[in-house]
Chain A
Amino acid sequence: MTAWITTLLDGLAYGMVLFIISVGLTITMGLMRIVNLAHGAFAMIGGYVAAVSIDHGLSWALAALLGSAAAGIAGGIAEIFLYRPLYRKGELAQMLLTFGLVFVVTGLLTLAFGVDFQRIPLPPSLSGEVSLGFRSYPLYRLFLIAVGALLAAGLWLGIDRSLYGARLRAAVDNPAMARGIGMNVDRLFTATFVFGCALAGFGGVVGSELLLIEPAYALKHLVTFLVVVVVGGHASFKGSFAAALLIGSVETFGKFYLPSLAPYVSFLLVLVLLLWRPHGVLPAKSLS
């Protein structure tokens, strides 16, 4: 029984990391409807900036903040110069440009830092174990679960239920009309994209103990991030929350109880879920 609970907690912690990183993608790819394969690249930028900051003696919290900010700024620049010309060009062009962006970021980071893993050591306040009554458990993983849950609640209130969220959905659905009633659509898009990429950077730093930071990061985990968003249903925070936790738990349980099948489990899950519901498990209702 205790083993079950521990595995479940491990699965939840891993699922939360997937959620924290992928939720930015739910914003950029789901809400804004850009086929964005470069999301992992922004997460990776956040991780590298945080690693460098810690090397220079900054605290972990400050490094996480700087990492998120750097990823957000990089995202803003990319949105203005690269993504904006593509909004009307269709899925293929978007897929290719963002794929090219992944290659460029990977190449540049390798040139600057080499192919080694980057360490982002945890602060002492997060690295211990706490007693859960029946056994002790790493504090860091509980921290991940708490952060993920808070983020999910915040985003649901801040985007699904706010004027900002309504404006954004309106601007995506009909940019011309949104401009017509006086909304600054370009600024809204840039701000949203910055926010999504900053979340990616934050996830990259916070989750770096489970998904190690290296130049291949963006390509290696690309499929996992996309899967969370697509399985969850485009633009659905509840959906990607459920999908991330489901995939994280299934994969972790698979590793413990069916090690020979583990590599297939998550892909089979994706296959079954998407064949069953091509528009995601919990698709957002406001979008047709």
Chain B
Amino acid sequence: MIARLTPWLLALGFYFAFAEQLALGTNVLVMILLTLSLDLCLGRAGILTLGQSAFFGMGAYVAGIVALRVTEDPLIGLAVATLASAALGALTGALILHTEGAALLMLTLALSALLEEFANHATAWTGGADGLQGMKLAPLLGTFRFDLFKHTAYLYSLAVLLVWFLVTQIVIVSPFGRSIDGIRQSPARMRAIGTPVWWRRLCVYTLSAAMAGSAGALSAQTTRFVGLTTLSVLVSGTAVVMLVLGGTRRRYGAFLGAAVYVLVQDYAAQINPFHWMLIVGILLMLTVLFLEGGLASLPEALLRVRRRESKR
């Protein structure tokens, strides 16, 4: 039980031990949520996508626009952003999920690129290349003010992450989750035993879009800025990299991958902004070639090697 809770205890420990690094910590939490959303879609359901940025960016922009024009309440902004992303997911998913493989990959790419162009040109709403600035947020639940040192932002993000984590854990063990597993392994067989494959895939896709939208909203609210980069292909690529680095379909794979990625990027970028591409690229290639289960499977992999050694 304690072992299962370790990541959450670490996250709380981080809050007390590294009080001056909470901006970085909040970023890690947001990225974990984004990666978790991708694990549901790509890891569990096997939907090959490079379009997660569309939902992340949608959530970020909607949260920003709500804060600037409607209400400064963070929870309302989060809810509206999540619903908007879910709606976008359902709409685009219904359009593209009958395809598979490379065509699906291209369609997700094209959709997110379209949305990015749209945000670039709808300057009245999105601020175009300048992005959305000057957001103000009311205190969370009317009591906790969003301070400069990100104390509230960190704990707020952690709470949202916990809620979504519990939702995914419930979904995964549910009959619905089992059928999603089956669809990844063989859509044809699942169809043969009467599973509505397209509909189930659409449901997962929409849920995943909602989660990514929440992550985007958190990113907008905690940094008080939304830029075009939230919609760029690089966000989708980064999410995939973090997921695979940590390990797909593992309880805390997304946590490990996102944390390692953001920390490595932060450290390498301090030396030279292009170093991180090199380092992340090498990490990614090593993971794919030698550690199929990602960093989360490292202990098992080492154990296996040792057992083989002792057998000799």
Contacts and interface: CB of A to CB of B under 8 A. Distances in A.
Interface string A113-130: 001000000000000000
A275 B120 contact: no
Interface stretch (A45-53, A96-104, A178-186, A188-196): A96-104
Contact of A227 (B106, B233, B279, B282): B106
A101 B107 contact: no
B113 A91 contact: no
Q: Shortest 10 CB-CB distances between A and B: which pairs?
A: A103-B281, A107-B278, A100-B284, A104-B281, A100-B285, A110-B274, A107-B277, A263-B117, A278-B99, A278-B103
B284 A263 contact: no
A15 interface: no
A61 interface: no
A223 B274 contact: no
Contacts of B288: 86, 93, 96-97, 100
Given A96-B288, A230-B103, A270 B110 contact: yes
Nearest to B104: A278
Contact of A263 (B121, B233, B278): B121
A71 to B, nearest CB: 18
Contacts of A278: 98-100, 103
A251 B301 CA distance: 50
A104 B282 contact: yes
Interface stretch (B64-72, B170-178, B198-206, B236-244): B236-244
B48 interface: yes
B107 A275 contact: yes
A77 interface: no
Contacts of B99: 274-275, 278
Contact of A97 (B114, B234, B289): B289
Given A96-B288, A99-B241, A275-B107, A107 B95 contact: no
A100 B114 CA distance: 25
A274 B277 contact: no
Interface string A19-44: 00000000001000001000000000
A103 B107 contact: no
Most buried by B among A85, A100, A274: A100
Nearest to B103: A278
A82 B285 contact: yes
B117 A96 contact: no
Nearest to B48: A91
Given A97-B289, A99-B284, A103-B277, A230 B102 contact: yes
Nearest to A226: B106
Contacts, number: 125
A108 B111 CA distance: 31
Most buried by A among B42, B96, B102, B280: B102
B111 A271 contact: yes
B110 A96 contact: no
Contacts of A100: 241, 280-285, 288
Interface in B253-311: 274-275, 277-285, 287-289, 292
A232 B102 CA distance: 12
B226 interface: no
B95 A275 contact: yes
B244 A96 contact: yes
A108 B118 CA distance: 33
Given A103-B277, A263-B121, A223 B107 contact: no
A97 B106 contact: no
A107 B42 contact: no
B117 A267 contact: yes
B114 A271 contact: yes
B101 interface: yes
B278 A108 contact: yes
A268 to B, nearest CB: 7
Contacts of A231: 106
A97 to B, nearest CB: 4
Contacts of A103: 277-278, 280-281, 284
B45 interface: no
